[in-house]
Amino acid sequence: MTPPMSSPGLCIRIAAFLVAGALHAQQAGVSPPVPEQAGLLAPPAPVTVKKPAELIQKQAPPVVNKELAAQVTPENAYVIVSISKQRAWLMFGDNQVYIDTPVSTGKRTGSTPTGKFSVLQKDKDHRSSVYGDFVDKRGRTVRRGVSLKVDSAPAGTRYVGSPMKFFCRLTNDGVGMHIGKLPGYPASHGCVRLPEEIAPLIYEKVKLGTPVEIRAE
């Protein structure tokens, strides 16, 4: 029995076969055999791996209907937030939209409550009483992104709450609307984050008691 051919020997035979086939095809005026016709597999096509940022759906930018600015007031304005769409609308009257903006809601299911609320507090320079940083006596950050629910301040440090500018409180346990980063998906601790240029506009058009409805869909 003939022993199985080694890999180098097999490669040499395949190469010789292809060369001979090409010469024969050239003489006969036909196309030479391709690897698939020779019973061989072509090398796989290269796979393009997308970067994580490319997998994030880009949110449509805010739209402000400036022609309606004079018509919407704290007396007739209301806000609707959609968690599934990651959008919010400042509206007035008969469903007229003054602002249509992207948002970022709670990253954990249920951390942004759904239902009907109203603005309980307004504070342009609000800071979180739960989430922030530990800083030293010189104000240098020692630990960033801490939660007083689970983290303890290292010796010689103090807690500084994260800024939540143009804050409009919706619940007694700290959920509200304010300026924040919008990465394109739910990323907050429960608040409704707004773009930097939009939060002041909403803040100006709402008052204590303004209705805010947060919907799951």
Domains of the chain, residue spans? 7-39, 55-118+175-215
Are the beta carbons of 161 and 134 closer than 8 angstroms? no
Per-residue confidence (pLDDT) for residue 1, from 0 to 100: 47
Per-chain mean pLDDT for the chain: 85
What is the spatial distance between Cα 159 and Cα 127, in angstroms, rounded to a whole number? Answer: 11
- The pLDDT, as a whole number, for residue 3 is 47
The tens digit of pLDDT for each residue in 117-166 reads 999 999 999 999 999 999 999 999 999 989 988 999 999 999 999 999 99
| Residue pointed to by tokens 């994030």 | 56
C-alpha distances in angstroms, 195 versus 41, 116, 122?
Answer: 53, 22, 17
In sequence order, the 6+-apart residues with CB closer than 8 A to the CB of 21 are 32, 33, 38
> What's the rounded Cα separation, in Å, for the pair 143 and 178?
23
Q: Residue 155 to residues 73, 142, 152, 171: CA-CA distances in angstroms?
A: 49, 11, 9, 33
From 160, 182, 179, 155, select the one nearest 168 (Cα to Cα): 179
How far is residue 58's CA from residue 125's CA, in Å, rounded to a whole number? Answer: 29
* pLDDT score, position 107: 93
- pLDDT surpasses 50 at 74: yes
SS (H, E, C) 180-194: CCCCCCCCECCCEEE
Phi and psi based region of residue 163 (left: phi greater than 0; alpha: psi -120 to 50; beta: remaining) = beta
CB 124 within 8 A of CB 111: no
Identify the DSSP state of 136: -
Residue 177 has pLDDT above 90, yes or no: yes
Q: Rounded to 5 degrees, what are φ and ψ at 205?
A: -95, 0
Q: Tens of pLDDT along 101-113?
A: 999 999 988 899 9
Q: Tell me how far apart the alpha carbons of residues 70 and 132 are, in angstroms, rounded to a whole number.
A: 37
CA angle, 178 then 188 then 204, to 5°: 10
- Tokens coding 217: 């869909």
Pick the CATH number of 55-118+175-215 from 3.40.50.300, 1.20.120.1200, 2.40.440.10, 3.40.50.180: 2.40.440.10
Nearest to 102 by CA among 90, 113, 88: 88
In the numeric block, the tokens 């919010």 are attached to 88
> What are the tokens at 198?
């939009």
Dump pLDDT digits (tens) for 29-64. 555 555 555 555 566 666 565 555 554 568 999 999
Q: What is the pTM of this model?
A: 0.72
Position 181 scores a pLDDT of 95
